[in-house]
Amino acid sequence: MSKPQKQLHLTAFMRPVSLHTGAWRYPGSYPDANFNLAHLTTFIQKLEAAKFDAFFMADHLAVLNMPLDALKRSHTVTSFEPFTLLSALSVVTTKIGLAATASTTYDEPYHVARRFASLDHLSAGRAAWNIVTTGNPESARNFGAAAHMEHADRYARAREFYDVVTGLWDSFADDAFVRDQASGTYFDPGKMHVLDHRGESLSVKGPLNIARPVQGWPVIIQAGQSEPGRQLAAETAEAVFCSPRDIGAAKALYADIKGRAEAAGRSRENIKILPAAFIVLGDTLEDAQQKRLRLDSLVHYDSAIASLSVQLGSDASGFDPDAPLPREIPDTNASKTGRAGVIKLAEEEGLTVRQLAQRLGGYGGLAFVGTPAAVAEEMGEWLAEGAADGFTVVFPFLPQGLDDVVERLVPELRRRGLFREEYVGSTLREHLGLPRPRNQFFE
């Protein structure tokens, strides 16, 4: 018997209207989805019918800091809070994983441990925690912190926060609750552990007032790509959500994180690398590209040119919008992180300044644009070449972009043996092929 083919894992990285800033204006979109549970119910049920691993709710802890004139065009300013939303969606689904973001900088480990444990019990083992350290300085001002915590401090606190949360999840042995009505013993006190953590950043006594989660621990997700971010992921994450610009960068990142995980004493199999992929499908490559151009054209030029200026490290507002990018771009003191990539993108796709600006202002990350067959083929290459264990799918617009993926791409992946036909297990850990952690305090 031949070894079963390796398959992709697929999670959906969601904002109710889409992550693309122009998506709410796309024909057929649901601009009111931010507070419309019926729409979100439809989305998650379609993703579950397609056997996606998880529904992953993106999040912010502030209204993003941008000039009012750009802010007023943004549908990403407001939406449901992730825990309340995912708890509601847990009731209308039975298999798909439910991933929520929670900050280690502006929350308390007792609260975070408790909410994820509760979501895991409500959903019978489908919760995942996306650990974020919250880089947005606007958030600090919503939590009484005048200055944003330094990058290194945030990562040190995050590491300790993870130890406390996982320690709290292990407060009770899996079999602690005997509920013996005759003797009157509700739980075995020898199977309750008081954490009594006193560390650099945190002091938490415990025990947690929740039974051990169904999955032992909810699945741990992380997105960090900085040096401390990669190290934190290697030590703690079970799914990594990253944004490499192409397959070459992805392979390097994949090898680096898996290597670091091994160096930390973990199995390479227990950390899944799932790059974020913006997927636009069409009947032909041109059709898909036209959809994307149309979507990008819905990003207001003022917002778009601001994004381009940031990435070029130069004020682009004086450039001719309908001409190619000028050959000579003046230097400024601002960051030029993305300049080379931006110039390459403009050349490769023959974009005007306007189109380039709208691309960056809409969704600037890794994209797969083409026919379902071509995209399925490419995703298979990423898997085969060790660039990814699957993808964190970003839909360009909803509902059509989601329908395209589940109705057209998923069947192409299945034809190639690259994606499951049915769920095998019932917990998110089982979908992802991750082991259930042993309780660190009890056999």
Gyration radius (Cα) of the chain, Å: 23
Cα 43 to Cα 55: distance, rounded to the nearest angstrom? 9
Interface size with a second copy, residues (CB under 8 A): 72
Give the footprint of a second copy on residues 299-318 (CB under 8 A). 300
Dihedral angle over CA of 422, 428, 433, 434, nearest 10 = -170
Query: Rounded to the nearest whole angstrom, what is the least distance from the CB of residue 211 to a second copy in the complex?
Result: 5
Stretch that binds a second copy, among 105-113, 234-242, 357-365, 390-398 (CB under 8 A): 105-113
Please report, as residue ranges, which positions from 23 to 62 form the binding site for a second copy (by CB under 8 A): 24-25, 31-32, 34-35, 37, 60-62
Question: Considering all CA atoms of the chain, what is the largest pairwise distance in Å, rounded to the nearest integer?
Answer: 84
In the complex, least distance from residue 201 CB atom to a second copy, rounded to whole angstroms: 9
Measuring CA to CA, which residue among 58, 192, 373 is closest to residue 381? 373
Binding mask 159-188 vs a second copy (x if CB under 8 A, - otherwise)?
-------------x----x-x-x--xxxxx
Q: At what angle do helices 353-362 and 339-349 cross, to 10 degrees?
A: 120
Q: Give me the helices (H) in 123-246, please.
A: 137-140, 151-169, 227-236
Q: Using the minimum distance from each CB to a second copy, give the nearer residue, 68 or 340.
A: 68
- Kindly identify the residues of this chain, within the stretch 58-77, that bind a second copy according to CB under 8 A: 60-63, 68-69, 71-75, 77
Would you count residue 298 as binding a second copy (CB under 8 A)? Answer: yes
Give 207-220 as a DSSP string. --SSPPPTTSSPEE
Shortest distance in whole angstroms from residue 353 CB to a second copy: 19
Cβ-count burial 398-434 (b if 16+ within 10 Å, e if not): bbbbbbbbbebbbebbbebebbbeebeeebbbbbbbb
3-state secondary structure of 296: helix
Which residues in 202-241 contact a second copy (CB under 8 A)? Answer: 202-211
- Identify the residue among 5, 49, 143, 317 touching a second copy (CB under 8 A): 143
* Smallest gap from residue 108 Cβ to a second copy (A): 6
Read off the amino acid at residue 96.
I
Stretch that binds a second copy, among 83-91, 307-315, 364-372, 393-401 (CB under 8 A): 83-91
CB of 74 to a second copy, least distance (A): 6
Which of 39, 45, 66, 122 is in the footprint of a second copy by CB under 8 A? 122
Q: Which of 84, 284, 290, 335 binds a second copy (CB under 8 A)?
A: 84
Q: Which is nearer to a second copy, 192 or 329 (CB)?
A: 192
Taking the CA of residue 172 as centre, how many other CA atoms within 13 Å lie in the half-sphere pointing to its CB? 18
- When asked if residue 119 is in the footprint of a second copy (CB under 8 A), the reply is yes
Question: What is the Cα 152 distance to its own chain's centre?
Answer: 22
